Structure 1
Amino acid sequence: MMAMLRLSQANSLLLPKTSLEGYHAKVSEDNKRASVEIFLKASGFLECAIQHVLPRISAENRKGLPVDLSEGVLKAICMQALGQAIDVQLGLAIDSPKATLAVKRRLACEMVKCWQQAHESMMDLPLIDSWGEKHRLFVKWKYIEAKAAAYYYHGLILDEGNTEKSRRMAVAALQSAEELLKESKDVAEAFHAAPPVSRSPPVCGSMKYLRDKIQKDSSCKVRITKDLYSNDSIHEAVPALPDFAVALKPDEYRLPAVTVDAANG
């Protein structure tokens, strides 16, 4: 319950608000930074539940718990909170003229790792209601979006190389980003259409910037590479993404001590 309240609080901070001067609705940088801290608190509550609460429940009693309280779902939501926090960080990096491509790529790759773990945690769970299936679609949507962002920045960095090989790899990465972006849109539509039906909101987070950039830069780089090397088609395997450890960690939360007298009372 505490984790879900924190998630709700963090997401509410990321809702665009119109300023007192009447300018376009936007999310303030202070709210973005505050949301990161709250996402980490939420993931800390969930990590505590996974590591210190569930192990205290007997295997027999755990069978009677709702699927929403299973280790897989709790793990997925924990990684979702971290993934959302990193997405906010990536958005801040995009807005910062000082942030390098390397920093943005690292954040995008870390985000992929979080959403991948969330996705894998839910893949084999018997989600028996529509809310569970909708959550699974949400995680899949964000996982594919994260991969699109990671391949986009990976492609831009590879394009800085001076060899034909590196530029072809860059094009392959950018084309992969574009394909993943299209796939994510399809999954997003499936998510919103799944019961309970939800309205498709305006694009937000890092994708607010990346959605147009991925399509534009991919087409541009393909055209330039073809002109440079006089080839009608570019065949190159999609390069693997770099493997970065996730820098953000859940805030540590410890269960309050329970005295024997209090327990008996």
Structure 2
Amino acid sequence: MVKYWQQARDNIMNLPLANGWGKKHRLFLKWKYMEAKAAAYYYHGLILDEGNTEKSHAIAIAALQAADEYLKESKRACEAFNSSIPLSRSPPLWGSMKYLSEKIPKDASRKVRINRDPYSHEKIMKTAPILPDFALALKPDEYQLPPVHASWNEESINNGQLDSNKPKE
């Protein structure tokens, strides 16, 4: 998910979204990208914590703390998204993010308490392990839009050419 949201973020920067919705779209992508990174670091941290070495536990702690930081950043991005024009209501958490918003802070603080290793935000992001690089599973198919139907032609509508469905007087 991180790669897909990253691609979306990178590609939207190249689009001319000057109709007022551009900022909202960019904030949405930032929000979802941060959520994906939080989830990725959380699960990566859990996998690393399964290791039997002290180093794997230290890296797991760094990953869980990074997940917590990305979760906080995603909440800020969500607030920014909802407060940008046009205003929207903040949706309630549901699904995997509801679960992760409860688990990430709890597991991250528990691991730090166990190991008595307080980190600053800068140190967390510097010591966060690199996420494994998996090949993308989905590739979009080429798609051609169908031709515009004649009913979309304003002149045809104004001239009454497409009024064949109207009852005749």
TM-score by length of 2: 0.76
Name the residue aligned to 2:134. 244
3-state SS in 1 of match to 2:21:
helix
Contact 1:116 1:143 in 2 (8 A): yes
User: Which stretch shows the higher mean deviation, 177-186 or 241-250?
Assistant: 241-250
Does 2:27 align with 1:137? yes
Amino acid at match of 1:114: Y
Name the residue aligned to 1:48. none
Does 2:3 align with 1:121? no
Name the residue aligned to 2:80. 190
Identity %: 68
* C-alpha distance in 2 between matches for 1:159 and 1:189: 32
* C-alpha distance in 2 between matches for 1:251 and 1:126: 23
Deviation (angstroms), 1:251:
5.5
* C-alpha distance in 2 between matches for 1:151 and 1:125: 30
Name the residue aligned to 1:149. 39
| Structure 1 pair 127–113 and aligned structure 2 pair: CA distance change class (3 A) | same
Does 2:60 align with 1:170? yes
Deviation (angstroms), 1:122:
1.9
| Structure 1 pair 213–132 and aligned structure 2 pair: CA distance change class (3 A) | same
Does 2:55 align with 1:181? no
* C-alpha distance in 2 between matches for 1:129 and 1:151: 35
* C-alpha distance in 2 between matches for 1:233 and 1:200: 32
Q: Where has structure 1 moved over 4 Å in runs of 4 or more?
A: 251-256
Summarize the alignment of residues 26-65 of structure 1 with structure 2, pairs less than 5 Å apart: none
Q: Residues 109-129 of structure 1: CA distance to partner in whole angstroms, max 9, x if unpaired?
A: xx0000000011123544323
Amino acid at match of 2:42: Y
- Number of residue pairs the alignment of both structures matches: 142
Name the residue aligned to 1:159. 49
* C-alpha distance in 2 between matches for 1:253 and 1:204: 33
3-state SS in 2 of match to 1:197:
coil
| Structure 1 pair 197–149 and aligned structure 2 pair: CA distance change class (3 A) | same
* C-alpha distance in 2 between matches for 1:129 and 1:143: 23
Q: Residues 90-115 of structure 1: CA distance to partner in whole angstroms, max 9, x if unpaired?
A: xxxxxxxxxxxxxxxxxxxxx00000
Deviation (angstroms), 1:139:
0.5
Amino acid at match of 2:69: E
Q: Residues 5-26 of structure 1: CA distance to partner in whole angstroms, max 9, x if unpaired?
A: xxxxxxxxxxxxxxxxxxxxxx
Deviation (angstroms), 1:219:
0.7
Where in structure 1 are there 5+ consecutive unaligned residues?
1-110, 227-231, 257-265
| Structure 1 pair 186–158 and aligned structure 2 pair: CA distance change class (3 A) | same
Where in structure 2 are there 5+ consecutive unaligned residues?
147-169
